[in-house]
Amino acid sequence: MIMNDLSEKGAAPRKSLAEHPSVDDEADKRRQYVAANRDRIREMNRLWRADHLERARQINRDSVRRATARRHRESERRARGRERAKRWREAHPDRRRQYQQRWMDENRAKVREYYNRYYDSHRDEVNARAAARRDADPDRTKQISKEWAARNKERRAELQRTRRSDPGTYQSELEVNAAARRLKRSLRRAGLPPKRLHPTTAAERRVHEREADVYFNDLSRPEHLRQFTVFAESLTEHMLKNGARMREFAKAYVETRARIGLPPVPVETILYARGVEIVTERMRRIDLLTSHDVAAAVRSTKAEMRRDERQRQFDHFV
């Protein structure tokens, strides 16, 4: 007991575990010191580098060398992993397909999310590939559509009911059907053949668009022919779309000339002169067009306008 007492008296008092500074406290103090003395630390580093320039450069070289070696090792390790995975996939194609199918079955929500995300960011590419597949085999596409319609009659009926739930859409469909029946009866009474139309499919329209792009973008085609074709089509399209409004302008212009005593000018001349002016302002190049080209385009547009007028009169009669 005495020895124990003496040893306890002679020994230095020990600190409890709670009294020792922890590692977190030391790190926190260091962060506080660095934050409070950034300029001083930066100046000390600069002075040390100035006094030990070769040593600093050697340290930097060693650090870069170690980082490069580490990146090289990581790259080789990833390459070896990819090679092992590739060999395993080639050796076990059935197990790979089973794993993929099992994962897709267990993660339907993720798969749908991935598909939607990819489609949102590659919408045009996905639609173009789908259209190309349909255009490559139109008969197969038509067969698939018929099979789907046969399997989903209720779905088709639901879609039709949804479409016709809009009063405006339903009324327009009724009017179109009634007009078609009236036309059919009128043609039969007049002894005329029934109206024959060739409904073009989306695949046919895409083929026509591609052919038109090839035609108009062919660099080997004479530029003169390209300019004339674009000018004639643009003039026809503009006159069909704005002919009535432009005719009113031409009539007002002719009346104004008559009031101020200028020589009379035909309304048709003013009408097509204004149309040619508008189209030429919108075109990028017209330097190769001649007066004969403009006259030919105007004649073509007049013929198309007359056909359109006869068709509208016929529709009104029916």
Contact 305, 243 (CB under 8 A): yes
pTM, rounded to two decimals: 0.39
**Nearest one of 283, 295, 287 to 230, comparing CA atoms:** 283
**DSSP secondary structure of 214-228:** HHHT-TTS-HHHHHH
Cα(150)–Cα(158) distance, integer angstroms:
14
**Nearest one of 299, 293, 287 to 223, comparing CA atoms:** 287
pLDDT tens, N- to C-terminus, the chain (318 residues): 334 444 444 444 554 544 555 667 888 888 898 889 999 999 999 999 899 999 999 999 999 999 999 999 999 999 999 999 999 999 999 999 999 999 999 999 999 999 999 999 999 999 989 988 888 888 888 899 899 999 999 999 998 888 888 888 889 989 999 998 998 888 888 888 887 777 788 888 888 888 888 877 777 668 888 888 899 999 999 999 888 888 898 999 999 988 888 888 899 998 999 999 999 888 888 888 888 889 999 999 999 888 888 888 777 766
